[in-house]
Chain A
């Protein structure tokens, strides 16, 4: 399968700081990437869809000014959690879409665990 990486894998920061998470498709170009958040023992929640060269599409209830998404190249999308607070502590996972014929598959990165103190 296709490989998607995320960096960092784990980050601890102080309340009020900003944290940037990178998502890279390593062996394919991804015009579309997705950002998810998952709280312990809860299901995946789609936060936003990141499209290369255009603005991200955010899901209802997700603050676009707090979760800044940039998809400047076909292999890189970044999520910046601005002015992080303890309630933002979560497991953030990206995925990249790989078209295949008339369908497509999403491959997930390994995730970034964020802890805000």
Chain B
């Protein structure tokens, strides 16, 4: 059974700090990796995708992938209170079904 593990949090960081969100996955054949942000009462919103080992940067967000360690992370620089949300890690295997982690709640305090 494919599993995606995330620390449920909450992860609390002060405004302006770097938030680091981590995710591990069990299926070594996984090919694509995604980070979604979900505000309370809203549906998930795609914020990053990564397919190759290494880092991928988009604005204040950096996704990091290490397939050998089966580990993917999301860094949020200069965290803002508006970044407070639940961040979902999702992993796509060859069967075209996304497996979601349970999410990490991030709280950014002003």
Contacts and interface: CB of A to CB of B under 8 A. Distances in A.
Interface of A: 1, 32, 34, 43-44, 46, 49, 91, 93, 97, 102-111
Interface residues of B, number: 22
Given A43-B100, A43-B103, A103 B92 contact: yes
Contacts of A91: 41, 43
Contacts of A111: 42-43
Contacts of A109: 43
B44 A97 contact: no
Interface string B67-105: 000000000000000000000101010001110111100
B34 A108 contact: no
A24 B6 CA distance: 31
B46 interface: yes
Contacts of B101: 43
A43 B88 CA distance: 9
Contacts of A49: 97
A44 B88 contact: yes
B78 to A, nearest CB: 23
A110 B43 contact: yes
- Nearest 7 A-B pairs (CB), nearest first? A111-B43, A43-B102, A108-B43, A103-B32, A93-B43, A108-B44, A44-B100
A34 B32 CA distance: 18
B104 to A, nearest CB: 11
A108 B49 CA distance: 15
Nearest to A93: B43
